[in-house]
Structures are given as structure tokens and as C-alpha cells.
Amino acid sequence: MNGEYSENALAGFYRDLIEIMFEDPKLYVEELKVGTKRLTSKVKVGYVNKYLGYLKVLPRFVWLSRTIHRITSVIIRKMKERGFKVEEQVEIERPEDLVDAVRRFLELVINTTINRNKFALLAWTLRKITERYLIVAHPDISAELLKFLEVEVLRDFGKEGYKVYGYRDFFSQYYYDERNLRICANGVPCGYYYAKNSWYAKHYGKPTTIGGALCRLTEAAFTYIKDDRSMLDRWFRGVQDEEHRYIERVLESLEKMGWEEPEYVKDIYAYIKDLKKGSLGSSYGSPFKFLIVEESGVIRRCKQWIYGRSYADSGIEQRKFSRYLNIYSLLDTLSPAMFLGLFDVAFGEDSTILLVRRE
């Protein structure tokens, strides 16, 4: 090996996974061969996107690692408080060990998602569920388990059976910044380019519940694997789009149940991929409709960012639906799909809700 990236797997691995770029990869390889304790090879970490250069950028795998660390730290602390023994450490003695550590790390991340882990799936089904559907879907669930996962009432729509339960730290609240055209929901990643942006970091928030942390693990894994697929395929065999596989299973299950997506719902939801982009709107408009739930439960209007003749003439406006809805029938209709994760709902700081669909 002469140390060039194309011929040196370890240097290439560092570049692709951690985005460590060696100024002189040949020097790095020779220093490894002779066992130099203090490497003199100059490196730079990360890059600046020429279109998004004003944002603070994190390499994708570094973003995943930090995200998983923050989430699992909360889970570990809470599990220890409950008397569980948890092993935390992995030692890396040689540079080559990093390859195996990354492989085992990715395997662990994938195996904690709802596609592979039954307990994670159970926690996922409780991330947003009405009081009445909880009785149908989990008739034997114990109060102790709900307390352990830290499930609580997120919104009470004032009618028996229509308290919405979930985790306060995962997809319970959405925020938007009309002036700077930003949007996010707590616990839902908004792209690696925004990882250090203070507004997104603030509203992404920290995990505070075990159930919410488990859901965040799945969301982080889904996001990373989908967005960094080409790089993963370069270094690992058999890595699949876990979110796509899961949604395929969900659609099959819903079809067997006889559930169909109502046509009218297609006019009021946004896709989660749009939410993860972090942009409220553009000259093409905005995909987000913030449904206004009146005290009676009726939904006649929504708030939406509308593009005018220019950005200066654009802003949030209220729009009236040709067909009226009510929150109770909407929740009843979507409950099976919400239970499995095809749909989700987040609440605004006012009386609005945001309906989101996966694909």
C-alpha cells in the first residue's frame, strides 16, 4: 500500500465514516507501520458544504455517535437508578480496532430499533395513543410499565377517551420560526447540517424519559441509515433501509386489518422527510398545515406559510378547508396507523396540531 485513500482501507474508512482527511495519507500509513506514538500527520475533521457554509457542520457518523451517546446516557442513568446493572465501556487499543468498534456500534444501534427489538416496538406504540385506543391495543398493559416508560397525558381534547398519551420528550411538540423559515419537532433529527445550530438544538431538546429515549434511538438510526446509505454500502454488507422495511411491514399489517388511508387525510398531512429537512417553506410553498382545533373539537381552518411575490411578501396565513373535520373522528380513524407509526401528531404552542406521515 502506498498510503493513498484509494489503496489504504483504514485511511479511507476514517475519511468516509468520521470525515477525517489526512493532509498526507502516506505519512500517516508509515507512522502506523513504525508505531509512532505521537502522530505528526495533519488532519482536518469535517467539511463545509458550499451551499450551507454558514451552518455549523457535523460529520454524519460523528452526529450519530454523539446522538446515541446522549440518548443512551439517559437510559443508562435511569436504569441504574432502578437497580439494573449496565455495561458501558468499549476499549480501543489500536487504530484497526476502530473498524470493529464501528461495526459493533452500528449493529447495536440497528438492533435497538423497532424493526429488531420487541421492547423498543412496545415503547414505540405508546409514543402517541388515545386513551380509548390504549384499552383496545394494550388491554393488559400494567400501570407499572407505563410508569417505567414515563408515559403521560400530552393533550386532553375534553371528551372522555380522547386524552392523548405519549412521551413529553419525543415528537410531542413542534416549533417553527416564521422569520428564518425553520421548523422542527422535539426528538426528531433535523439534518446533520443543523446539529450545532442553537435554535434546532434547543427545540430538539434532551431525552428525559426512558420511552422517549428508546424512540429517539430508532429515529436516529432510521435517519442515519437512510441518509448515509451509499457510504454504509461501501463498508458493510447487508445494511438495509430500516425505516423503509418497517413501513412495508406496517402497510401489510394495516391492509390485513382492513384499514385504508382516507382520501381527505392526504390534504392535511406533511411527510416526515420534509420535517427532517428543517425548512418551513420556500418559493414552492410549504408542505406543513397546522390544523386549528377549536374548543368544540371541530377543525375548519389551518395555518400555513404561504409564498407571495417574494419572501418579503410571504408569511403564515389562515386557510379555510372546504371539508370540515373534527379531532375525535380524525383520531379514531388514524389510531391504528398512529399506533404502528405510519402517522404521528405533534402539538403546537397554541391550539394547533401537525399531522405527519412516514413513507
- pLDDT per residue over 161-215, tens digit each? 999 999 999 999 999 999 999 999 999 988 655 666 889 989 999 999 999 999 9
Position 45 scores a pLDDT of 47
Among candidate residues 253, 254, 85, 75, the one with its CA nearest the CA of residue 167 = 75
Position 87 scores a pLDDT of 63
Position 243 scores a pLDDT of 94
Cβ atoms 11, 43 nearer than 8 A: no
Position 48 scores a pLDDT of 41
pLDDT value at 145 more than 60: yes
State the DSSP string of 151-163: -EEEEE-SSTT-E
H helices present in the chain, as ranges: 9-13, 25-34, 60-81, 97-111, 118-125, 131-137, 143-149, 198-204, 210-227, 229-235, 242-257, 272-277, 327-340
Cα–Cα distance measured from residue 227 to residue 245, given in angstroms and rounded to the nearest whole number:
15
User: 185: which 3 cell numbers?
Assistant: 419537532
- pLDDT per residue over 34-78, tens digit each? 665 555 555 554 444 444 343 444 567 777 888 888 898 888 888
Reported as a pLDDT band with limits 50, 70 and 90, residue 8 is low
Name the residue with higher pLDDT: 325 or 76: 325
Average pLDDT over residues 17-26: 60
- pLDDT per residue over 242-257, tens digit each? 999 999 999 999 999 9
Q: Residue 352: beta bridge partners?
A: 292
pLDDT value at 7 more than 60: no
pLDDT value at 5 more than 90: no
Burial 242-259 (b: 16+ CB within 10 A, else e): bbeebbeebbeebeeeeb
pTM: 0.85
Position 40 scores a pLDDT of 54
pLDDT value at 332 more than 90: yes
| Helices and strands of the chain, counted as H and E runs | 13, 13
DSSP letter, residue 322: E
Name the residue with higher pLDDT: 242 or 27: 242
Reported as a pLDDT band with limits 50, 70 and 90, residue 6 is very low
Average pLDDT over residues 116-127: 97
Query: How far from 97 is each of 45, 101, 116, 156, CA to CA, in Å?
Result: 20, 6, 26, 51
Cα–Cα distance measured from residue 280 to residue 304, given in angstroms and rounded to the nearest whole number:
9
Cα–Cα distance measured from residue 231 to residue 202, given in angstroms and rounded to the nearest whole number:
29
Task: Give the H or E element holding residue 343.
Answer: strand 343-347
pLDDT value at 331 more than 60: yes
Mean pLDDT for all residues in the chain: 85
- pLDDT per residue over 252-301, tens digit each? 999 999 999 999 999 999 999 999 999 999 999 999 999 999 999 999 99
